[in-house]
């Protein structure tokens, strides 16, 4: 005779099978979901650990999806215009759904589903969505935009908004209820997408994480070309890649101790007045020094990009970012991610040569042409605030792809529009990370959970005064933690204990 406990477990097991079968049936039935200008192309129940991503052409090592829970995978295509083909996917947990929706972002010009972003959200219990932004391409390539202005609009904002609206409708059709909360989580282009949502569609999300946002798109890409041209205008100006570490070491040695703690990091590079001339060769060029022309290139990289007539385009690279300078200055031509905007969208000429760029003329024309399609620089977030939205923005001070002062500038523009720190910090907080590279990595602590902090803020009203970040010395080995503070506050050492432990620091206003 079975015991009462055995019988109860048997009943629970049968119930789980029935629920699982019902959800699988509900998942497949989504193929018949009817929405305007939307076609469900796939609705399948994926067993735990069984997902195999299609070849996407994205760089990097193969990703492990073997630890994913069972989920309902829905792929859809939206065609809001005759020249639109916006693909997106929604993944929904077969069990233990947290009741929430998460929209996730892309990088650069990428036209592909980002499966690792979907996987991360799914593991956290979210119904999660991602879009190819309406085109097919690698991250550096904007040739798809030539002759397709509607696809540019899709990339700029329409794809993410439609993914969000239609994604929530799919979630409702599957679970028979709407998400209780909706969050955006993205970095780089994904950070720009998050800011665009807050500015243009303030009711789409309850909370937004916008990391290292590429929000001043036309100017960022012009600056990418500008920096490249300074380094590549002639062979003498080029800094060999192996010398970037030399410059980095000298910058750290010059500015590490400004904050009172010698920890291999520059706390606020704006206080660092490092002049690469200290590395100038006394004689002939050598591996351990810079030529006069190379010194001048480094000086220009640290300074803002400007037009010949003195108009500032974008902030400069910061001291501490040198290990990543190869992206913009590695040659043999300016980075394509920047020049492709001016080639295919502004000039509409695949044969246009970025070395002929007229910054005084091309940058204002790009601004006028874009007119807020891709740029996400509107500081008026009052509707997002009124909706109850919360926004966390973060940026690494050692970012060598998107200059970090851009985020400071945007935040300060919001301060002026909203009415000062008190009115702004109750819904928007910026966190700057010393030594952190683009979105993650670098010599400083860069591992942190901004989404968890955002959830507590939105759902429990606990605004984050700091976020603890960690640095990894290897897989699973944390060798330093440090609080990231609400800008303009910085982490100050208390004077006792290890400088590698976050509890020995407090967030205070800078001196």
In the set 45, 182, 188, 466, the catalytic residue is 188
Quick check: is 378 catalytic? no
Give the single-character DSSP code of 447: B
Whether residue 232 is found in the same domain as residue 159: no
387 touches 207 (CB < 8 A): no
Cα separation, 277 vs 309, in Å, equals: 26
Whether residue 20 is found in the same domain as residue 154: yes
Q: Is residue 34 part of a domain?
A: yes
Q: Phi and psi for 414 in degrees, rounded to 5?
A: -70, -40
Token pair recorded at residue 280: 């100038």
Cα separation, 154 vs 134, in Å, equals: 6
Q: Is residue 219 part of a domain?
A: no
In the set 26, 204, 263, 399, the catalytic residue is 399
90 touches 127 (CB < 8 A): yes
Quick check: is 409 catalytic? no
Cα separation, 294 vs 241, in Å, equals: 12
Helices assigned H by DSSP within 283-436: 292-302, 326-329, 336-340, 359-370, 382-386, 405-418, 421-425
Q: What is the DSSP string of 191-209?
A: HHHHHHHHHH-TTS-SEEE
Separation in Å, CA 481 to CA 155, 181, 323, 502, 504: 37, 30, 22, 5, 10
Of 381, 412, 392, the C-alpha closest to 486 is: 392
Cα separation, 398 vs 436, in Å, equals: 5
Number of other CB atoms surrounding residue 251 within 10 Å: 25
Cα separation, 226 vs 297, in Å, equals: 11
Q: Phi and psi for 370 in degrees, rounded to 5?
A: -65, -50
User: Bridge-partner residues for 184, per DSSP?
Assistant: 103, 208
Q: Is residue 405 part of a domain?
A: no
Cα separation, 427 vs 432, in Å, equals: 17
Cα separation, 49 vs 90, in Å, equals: 17
Whether residue 233 is found in the same domain as residue 364: yes
Q: Over the stretch 21-76, which tens digit does the pLDDT of each residue have?
A: 556 678 999 999 999 999 999 999 999 999 998 876 555 567 889 999 999 999 99
Q: What is the DSSP string of 206-227?
A: SEEEEES---SHHHHHHHHHHH
In the set 219, 248, 395, 438, the catalytic residue is 438
Of 161, 166, 155, 103, the C-alpha closest to 129 is: 103
Q: Is residue 319 part of a domain?
A: yes
Q: Which of 340, 369, 398 is the last residue of a domain?
A: 369
Quick check: is 362 catalytic? no
Residue 250 sits in which domain range?
Answer: 224-369
100 touches 126 (CB < 8 A): yes
Whether residue 237 is found in the same domain as residue 297: yes
Give the single-character DSSP code of 24: H
Number of other CB atoms surrounding residue 1 within 10 Å: 4
Cα separation, 369 vs 492, in Å, equals: 45
128 touches 122 (CB < 8 A): yes
Q: What is the DSSP string of 26-84?
A: HHHHGGG--BTTEEEEEEEEE-TT---PPP----SSPPP-TTPPPEEEEEEEE-SSTT-
Can you state the percent helix, strand and coil of the chain, rounding each to 5? 40, 20, 40
Q: Over the stretch 367-411, which tens digit does the pLDDT of each residue have?
A: 999 999 999 999 999 999 999 999 999 999 999 999 999 999 999
Whether residue 233 is found in the same domain as residue 173: no
Of 234, 225, 233, 230, the C-alpha closest to 340 is: 225
Kindly give the parts of the chain with pLDDT less than 70. Answer: 1-24, 56-61
Whether residue 144 is found in the same domain as residue 236: no
Whether residue 148 is found in the same domain as residue 261: no
Cα separation, 86 vs 158, in Å, equals: 9
Token pair recorded at residue 154: 């899709």
Whether residue 33 is found in the same domain as residue 174: yes
Rg for the chain, CA atoms, rounded: 24
User: In 3-state terms, what secondary structure has residue 126?
Assistant: coil
Q: What is the DSSP string of 260-306?
A: S--SS--S-GGG----GGGGB-SSS--TTSB-HHHHHHHHHHHSPEE
| Block residue for tokens 């939105």 | 458
Within its chain, how far is the Cα of 379 from the centroid?
Answer: 19
Size of the chain in residues: 511
Q: Which of 325, 345, 369 is the last residue of a domain?
A: 369
Within its chain, how far is the Cα of 429 from the centroid?
Answer: 16
Q: Is residue 143 part of a domain?
A: yes
Whether residue 169 is found in the same domain as residue 318: no
Whether residue 169 is found in the same domain as residue 78: yes
Whether residue 133 is found in the same domain as residue 21: yes
Helices assigned H by DSSP within 108-237: 115-123, 149-153, 159-175, 189-200, 217-232
Q: Is residue 397 part of a domain?
A: no
Q: Is residue 330 part of a domain?
A: yes
φ/ψ bin of 183: left (φ > 0), alpha (ψ from -120 to 50), beta (otherwise): beta
Whether residue 260 is found in the same domain as residue 319: yes
Count of structural domains within the chain: 2
> What's this model's pTM, rounded to 2 decimal places?
0.94
pLDDT given for residue 143 in this prediction: 98
Q: Is residue 341 part of a domain?
A: yes
- Please, what is the end-to-end C-alpha distance for the chain in angstroms? 76
Write the burial class of residue 477 (CB in 10 Å: 0-12 exposed, 13-18 middle, 19+ buried). exposed
Q: Which of 309, 335, 369 is the last residue of a domain?
A: 369
């Amino acid at each position: 005779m079975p015991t009462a406990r055995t019988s109860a477990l048997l009943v629970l097991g049968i119930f789980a099978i029935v629920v699982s079968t019902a959800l699988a049936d509900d998942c497949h039935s989504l193929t018949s979901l009817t929405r305007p200008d939307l076609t469900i192309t796939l609705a399948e129940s994926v067993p735990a650990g069984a997902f195999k991503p299609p070849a996407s052409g994205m760089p990097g090592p193969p990703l492990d999806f073997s630890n994913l829970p069972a989920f309902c995978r829905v792929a859809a295509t939206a065609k809001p215009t005759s020249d639109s083909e916006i693909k997106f996917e929604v993944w929904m947990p077969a069990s233990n759904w947290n009741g929430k929706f998460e929209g996730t972002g892309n990088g650069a010009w990428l036209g592909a589903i980002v499966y690792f972003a979907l996987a991360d959200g799914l593991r956290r219990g979210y119904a999660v969505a991602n879009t190819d932004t309406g085109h097919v391409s690698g991250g550096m390539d904007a040739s798809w935009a030539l002759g397709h202005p509607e696809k540019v609009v899709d990339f700029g904002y329409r794809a993410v908004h439609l993914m969000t609206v239609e994604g929530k409708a799919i979630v409702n059709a599957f679970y028979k209820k709407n998400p209780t909360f909706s969050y955006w989580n993205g970095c780089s282009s994904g950070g720009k997408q998050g800011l665009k949502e807050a500015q243009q569609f303030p009711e789409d999300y309850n909370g937004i994480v916008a990391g290292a946002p590429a929000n001043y798109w036309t100017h960022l890409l012009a600056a990418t070309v500008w920096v490249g041209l300074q380094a590549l205008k002639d062979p003498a100006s080029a800094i060999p890649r192996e010398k970037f570490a030399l410059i980095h070491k000298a910058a750290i040695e010059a500015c590490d101790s400004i904050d009172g703690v010698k920890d291999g990091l520059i706390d606020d590079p704006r206080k660092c007045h490092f002049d690469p001339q200290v590395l100038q060769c006394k004689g002939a060029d050598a591996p351990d020094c810079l030529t006069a022309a190379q010194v001048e290139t480094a000086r220009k990289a640290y300074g803002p990009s400007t037009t010949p007539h003195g108009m500032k385009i974008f902030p400069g690279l910061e001291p501490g970012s040198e290990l990543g300078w190869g992206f913009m200055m590695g040659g043999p031509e300016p980075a394509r991610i920047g020049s492709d905007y001016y080639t295919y969208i502004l000039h509409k000429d695949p044969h246009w040569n970025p070395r002929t760029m007229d910054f005084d003329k091309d940058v204002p024309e790009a601004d006028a042409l874009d007119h807020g399609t891709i740029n996400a620089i509107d500081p008026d977030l009052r509707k997002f605030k009124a909706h109850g939205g919360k926004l966390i923005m973060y940026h690494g001070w050692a970012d060598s792809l998107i200059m970090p002062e851009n985020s400071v500038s945007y935040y300060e523009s919001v301060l002026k529009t909203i009415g000062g720190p008190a009115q702004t910090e109750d819904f928007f907080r910026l966190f700057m990370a010393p030594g952190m590279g683009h979105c993650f990595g670098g010599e400083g602590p860069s591992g942190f959970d901004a989404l968890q902090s955002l959830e507590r803020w939105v759902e429990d009203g606990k605004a984050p005064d700091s976020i603890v970040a960690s640095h990894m010395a290897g897989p699973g080995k944390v060798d330093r933690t440090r609080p990231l503070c609400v800008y303009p506050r910085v982490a100050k050492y208390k004077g006792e204990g290890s400088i590698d432990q976050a509890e020995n620091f407090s967030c205070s206003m800078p001196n």
